[in-house]
Amino acid sequence: MSTTVIGKSGTWRNWAGNVTARPVREVTPATVEELAAAVRKAAEDDLRVKAVGTGHSFTAAAATDGVLIRPQLLTGIRKIDRDAMTVTVGAGTPLKRLNMALAREGLSLTNMGDIMEQTVSGATSTGTHGTGRDSASIATQIRGLELVTADGSVLTCSATENPEVFAAARVGIGALGIVTAITFAVEPIFLLTAREEPIPFERVLAEFDELHAENEHFEFYWFPHTGSTNTKRNNRSAGPEKPIPQLNSWFEDEFLSNGVFQVANLVGQAVPATIPTIARISSRALSARTYTDIPYKVFTSPRRVRFVEMEFAVPREAVVDTLRELKAMVDRSNLRVSFPVEVRTAPADDITLSTASGRESAYIAVHMFKGTPYQAYFTAAERIFIAHEGRPHWGKVHTRDSDYFAKVYPRFGEFTALRDRLDPQRRFQNDYLRRVLGA
């Protein structure tokens, strides 16, 4: 017999520590029925409800002063359908556990983001993505959803069942209901060869279209205060498997990318004048390397240095101009930026509020070390992004509101009309949703 865990709540904090909330109570349902009952009870008590994952969003998308739902008991694989090539998982399943479980079954997602700490529902609801010429965000790989709506009913949706809900709820920002299970398309596990190498900033921009066209997954990091980038190309491979040797992996991915980088950021935080020098050293620290492994070991990497992040999707054809403007802004300012800028791409998709909805996109992400004032840098970057009709990642810092979104998302009204139908009392409302979707 399952039991719901209900607790008096303390303070909830996100991963970066820039968002806090004090809910009235926390509920950890063990079944979908218990979650539905918790939503009905919240309605009786006139409380708002939000589900939280691992808190990897930098926005207050999951914050609530009402009932906080923790989905960690709604986890694991419910069903693998090898005929349809789908897998159905509980919404609280961490991507890490899903990736490992699929690999054991000889299966994989087609594409994924660069970390795998998030829950599947948290990652998809905010539009988490990796980089891809032909393959898009994690949400585009969804084939079915189970959703508890504001009246406590359980709705299943897919391209054929409640298709208008399916079109929107794959990236629903928690506004349409609480996702309890997701069915993903999967494929037989494959190998990727990753080629990482430093290339000068100007050369990457000059060759960007070519690099994008020639590689299934292309991305790069530009180190502000330098003319250097580190590029990464991931392409499918016939093998053989050739993972990074364990010692090299520890040295480059843990010691350099996390340990030394943490120390460098602490030095930069204490003495900002040292940051340009640290950036030049950082940009030269990672050498070229090539390795071949299963997808999640190539796409994802550990991120232990905490930061705050803003990311905008701009039309792909605008990415080079946008990056040149960003570099010029940093160069002429007295900003000191110790984190690299990450650049990725995605093909257009058909999800109502996906950042790549209806247009081929490039993502530009700016970061600041946790505890360092980020507002001046992010404000200046955001000004550049919005001049190119940029769409901010729903889970990352931005100041845009519903008026702006109505302009940059052609189907914005379709989403808000659906929300009016599914949640007329705004049971799933919070301050963040009020700002981005309107009251």
Write out the DSSP string of 222-262. E-TTSSEEEEEEEEEE----BPPPHHHHIIIIIIIIIIIHH
Which H or E run contains 183? strand 178-185
- 234-269: per-residue pLDDT in tens? 999 999 999 987 766 655 665 556 666 777 777 777
Give the integer Cα–Cα distance in Å for 162 and 160. Answer: 7
- 165-183: per-residue pLDDT in tens? 999 999 999 999 999 999 9
| Confidence at residue 373, expressed as pLDDT on a 0 to 100 scale | 92
| Predicted confidence (pLDDT) at residue 349 exceeds the cutoff of 70 | yes
| Predicted confidence (pLDDT) at residue 360 exceeds the cutoff of 70 | yes
Give the integer Cα–Cα distance in Å for 355 and 333. Answer: 29
Pick 404 or 287 by higher pLDDT.
Answer: 404
Residue 375 banded pLDDT, cuts 50, 70, 90: very high
Among candidates 411, 409, 406, 439, which has minimal Cα distance to 425? 439
| Confidence at residue 256, expressed as pLDDT on a 0 to 100 scale | 58
| Predicted confidence (pLDDT) at residue 305 exceeds the cutoff of 60 | yes
| Predicted confidence (pLDDT) at residue 38 exceeds the cutoff of 90 | yes
Give the three-state DSSP class for 263.
Answer: helix
Among candidates 27, 23, 24, which has minimal Cα distance to 3? 27
| Confidence at residue 190, expressed as pLDDT on a 0 to 100 scale | 98
- 191-226: per-residue pLDDT in tens? 999 999 999 999 999 999 999 999 999 999 999 999
Instruction: Check residue 18 and report its DSSP letter.
Output: S
| Predicted confidence (pLDDT) at residue 1 exceeds the cutoff of 50 | no
- Alpha carbon separation from 292 to 45, 180, 238, 299, 358 (Å, rounded): 54, 35, 9, 11, 33
Q: CA 207, 211, 214 angle in degrees (round to 5)?
A: 135
Query: Is the link from the previous residue into 198 a cis peptide, with omega within 30 of 0?
Result: no
| Confidence at residue 257, expressed as pLDDT on a 0 to 100 scale | 64
| Confidence at residue 439, expressed as pLDDT on a 0 to 100 scale | 84
Assigned token pair, 86: 């789908």
| Predicted confidence (pLDDT) at residue 9 exceeds the cutoff of 80 | no
Segment 67-95 mean pLDDT:
97
Give the three-state DSSP class for 99.
Answer: helix
Segment 343-364 mean pLDDT:
98
Strands 49-51, 67-69: pairing is: parallel
